[in-house]
A and B are shown apart, each in its own frame.
Chain A
Amino acid sequence: ILNVEQSPQSLHVQEGDSTNFTCSFPSSNFYALHWYRWETAKSPEALFVMTLNGDEKKKGRISATLNTKEGYSYLYIKGSQPEDSATYLCAFRGSTLGRLYFGRGTQLTVWP
């Protein structure tokens, strides 16, 4: 059984606050760690694919870090906006073409 854990399960913040979530995954047989942003009834949108220990990636106000040795990744959102409200999913991949193992997601609500 391969477990991917995300915390917190849900988060409510005020517009302008910065926030971060955690994804923990197995540190063995690591190939890639994916972050997706998902709004209900829409396609999960790929944010980052991270492959190297120490990777840091940034897309606008959103950034992510990766530690494959200890098996965790952080997603940061700086200056949250209401349009950032969504469920953020992380997924572990153990091979080039392999299945993704998802966490349950962190549901973010940003209040204006």
Chain B
Amino acid sequence: EAGVTQFPSHSVIEKGQTVTLRCDPISGHDNLYWYRRVMGKEIKFLLHFVKESKQDESGMPNNRFLAERTGGTYSTLKVQPAELEDSGVYFCASSQAPWGLESQPARGEQFFGPGTRLTVL
């Protein structure tokens, strides 16, 4: 079974430009999460989709960040315009709903992608 995939793996842009990150969750996973790790800090939650709906977007830093999950499959995270402090590693994770038919090692386990390393110059 394919894991969570993210594209691109790296992105280097200049301040003021726009970048769009993509996440493909594990097939059949209704829950999709975005997280971010700024260098030297902990991984922090950004938002959570259940299918195509935003369940919790309280971690989004400001209105320069826009996340979408049209059709409830893959998700995009757009940063426009990018600022220097947006640099970091953006992770995506997915999990099956607890009432899913598949068994899981533990309820709501989140499976992570390799991240997109964003550098804003």
Contacts and interface: CB of A to CB of B under 8 A. Distances in A.
Interface of A: 4, 32, 34, 36, 41-44, 46, 49-51, 89, 91, 93, 96-105
Interface string B86-100: 000001010101100
Contacts of A32: 106-108
Interface residues of B, number: 34
A32 B106 CA distance: 9
Contacts, number: 71
Contact of A51 (B50, B93, B106, B110): B106
Nearest to A32: B106
A43 B3 contact: yes
Given A34-B110, A43-B113, 12 more contacts: A32-B106, A34-B109, A41-B9, A41-B115, A46-B112, A89-B43, A93-B108, A97-B31, A97-B98, A98-B56, A100-B110, A104-B40
B43 A96 contact: no
A52 B40 CA distance: 31
A36 B106 contact: no
B64 interface: no
Which 8 A-B residue pairings sit nearest by Cβ, starting from the closest? A49-B106, A99-B45, A102-B43, A44-B112, A102-B42, A104-B42, A43-B114, A43-B112
B94 to A, nearest CB: 11
A44 B41 CA distance: 16
Contacts of A97: 31, 48, 50, 55, 95, 97-98, 108
**Most B CB within 10 A of own CB, among A50, A100, A104, A105:** A100
B45 A101 contact: yes
Contacts of B110: 34, 46, 100
A50 B55 CA distance: 24
A36 to B, nearest CB: 7
26 contacts: A32-B106, A36-B112, A41-B115, A41-B117, A43-B3, A43-B114, A46-B109, A46-B112, A49-B105, A49-B109, A51-B106, A51-B107, A91-B43, A97-B48, A97-B50, A97-B97, A98-B108, A99-B33, A100-B33, A100-B45, A100-B93, A100-B110, A102-B35, A102-B42, A102-B43, A103-B42
